[in-house]
Amino acid sequence: MDEFIKDLCHKHDLHDIDLIVIKNNKIVNEMMYSNPNIEIKSMKRDDLYRIASISKIFVGIAIMQLAEIGKLSLDDNIENYIGFSLRNKNHPNDIITIKHLLTHTSSLMDTEHRLVPYPEHSEDLFTKNGKYYSEKMFSTYKPGETFIYYNAGFHLLAMIIEHVSQLRFDQYIKRYILDPLSMKGSFNVSDIYTSNHIRPLFRKLNDKWTPQCDYGIHKSNYDDYELGTNGSLFSPQGGMRSNAMELSKLMFDLMSNTSVLLSNESLDYMYQIHYFDNHKHLEDKHLFYRHSGIVFNIINDKSINKPLKKMDYTLIGHCGLAYGFHGMFFFDIKNQNGFIFNVTGEGKDMKEYMGSYSQYFSFQEELLTYIDQHIWSKNI
């Protein structure tokens, strides 16, 4: 597989590849490979980088943990926790629930303002007189009616986590998810600022690899932060810093029937399809994500969009895409297989990466096809 990964990196002009493949509940392939034409040192195993929307898995687990101990219900009105009124102005009598946010069915949409800078408050994004408010966030659909991928919904979920737990979002994730799994990483760059192992993300611009994220970062002080006031502070929609090996610890726990994070009942509930889209609403650009569990994307052979032409198993997980990062975190519980495929930089225009038979990228189709045919289907 080493030569395949090297060829994949060169063919598609990728910056770094960080890969873990699991078969029968064991890591059978582990590889990091850096493009020889980059201008910084090759990736090291303890490097951490921003994993984009794979981060949303941590938010979903946190909400389910709080539900398990009776601190909230997924059917609760989010207004009970966020400190202000928030409904779709086109459907003012319909509440938005926590579950709507977790399944991207809230009927709300991202606008040009996705982050609220500290020390300002998230209320300025979601309320009518707010500095960053836009009525573009309201779709014509009712809550629960259709899937619209909504990053800002995870800012609201972070606010709910803080309100209920009385812990800052990054500290909750560390105490109740990262530490129990002995995982390195954080949503708070200041936690790992001194480690010198934060790897930037890259795009090639004018034939030069150019850092897009985590380059020239500085330590921040949040001692005066008031809980529940700025859900975007640690970018819960995409700001976790991790790597494939650290994420494999989470994957093993999620595939087991003895999870240290959640009960089997909670995990089973997360893995159910809670929203199925039959391709009616084509205005949503996130066509790759159409079978929605609780925070998870669920892919099987009946899926409208899948990174394999044919599959006889179900994959559960999440993708990540931002600042040149392309990530896939997917596992097959029945066969105890999985893979984590992270790319830390893109050297071509995104249009050149489009897949040949799916909404996934060409190098993702090629990688998963290789794993399916040469690893999971073989007796190794």
Determine how many CB atoms are found less than 10 A away from the CB of residue 238.
22
Q: Average pLDDT for residues 55-79, to the nearest whole number? A: 99
Q: Is the predicted pLDDT of residue 54 greater than 60, yes or no?
A: yes
Mean of pLDDT values over 191-205:
86
- Residue with the larger pLDDT of the pair 114 and 353: 353
In the chain, the amino acid numbered 48 is L
Sheet of 16-23: strands edge to edge?
A: 26-34, 16-23, 337-343, 325-332, 315-322, 297-299, 291-292, 275-276
CATH number at residue 110: 3.40.710.10
CA distances from 98 to 58, 66, 260 (A): 15, 12, 23
For residue 246, what pLDDT is reported? 98
Residue 187 lies in a domain: yes
Q: What is the pLDDT of residue 39?
A: 87
- State the CB neighbour count (10 A cutoff) for residue 183: 21
DSSP for 48-110, written as a single string: BEE-GGGGHHHHHHHHHHHHHTTS--TTSBTHHHHSS----TTSTTS--BHHHHHTT-SSB--
**Residue-level pLDDT at 304:** 81
Residue 316: which of 328, 332, 303 has the closest Cα? 332
Looking at residue 286, its pLDDT comes to: 47
Name the pLDDT band for 291 (thresholds 50, 70, 90). Answer: confident
Domain for residue 359, yes or no?
Answer: yes
Query: Residue 282: pLDDT band by 50, 70, 90 thresholds?
Result: very low
For 87, the domain range is 1-375
Q: Domain for residue 380, yes or no?
A: no
Q: What DSSP designation does 307 have? A: S
Count how many domains the chain has.
1
Rounded to whole angstroms, the Cα distance separating 240 from 57 reads 10
With beta carbons less than 8 A apart as the criterion, state whether 150 and 141 touch. no
Nearest-angstrom CA–CA distance, 291 and 116 = 30
pLDDT at residue 233, rounded to an integer:
98
> Tokens 């039959």 label which residue?
278
The pLDDT of residue 279 is 56
Which pLDDT belongs to residue 288?
53
Which candidate, 150, 172, 147, places its Cα nearest to that of 58? Answer: 172
Look at residues 268, 273, 242 and name the one whose alpha carbon lies nearest to residue 56: 242
How many distinct helices (H) and strands (E) make up the chain?
A: 10, 13
CB atoms within 10 A of CB 177: 22
CA distance 8 to 35: 10
Q: How confident is the model at residue 290 (pLDDT cuts 50, 70, 90)?
A: low
Given a cut of 70, is residue 347 above it in pLDDT? yes
Q: Where are the alpha helices (DSSP H) in the chain?
A: 2-12, 56-68, 79-82, 98-102, 123-126, 153-165, 169-173, 244-255, 264-271, 362-371
Instruction: Tally Cβ neighbours within 10 Å of residue 24.
Output: 10
363 pLDDT more than 80: yes
Q: Provide the percentage of residues in the chain whose pLDDT is more than 90.
A: 88
**70-119 tens-digit pLDDT:** 999 999 999 999 999 999 999 999 999 999 999 999 999 999 998 999 99
pLDDT for residue 289: 60
Say what the pLDDT of residue 245 is: 99
pLDDT averaged over every residue in the chain: 94
C-alpha to C-alpha distances, 231 to 122, 165, 217, nearest whole angstrom: 6, 14, 21
Of 31, 38, 98, 81, the C-alpha closest to 340 is: 31
Least confident residue range of 208-212, 300-304, 338-342: 300-304
**133 found inside a domain:** yes
Give the pLDDT mean for 130-143: 97
Residue 286 to residue 283: CA distance in whole angstroms: 9
In a domain, 310, yes or no: yes
Quick one: which of 19, 25, 1, 23 has its CA closest to 380? 23
Of 89-93, 182-186, 272-276, which range is least confident? 272-276
Residues listed for the chain: 380
Judged against a pLDDT cut of 70, whether residue 283 lies above it is answered with no
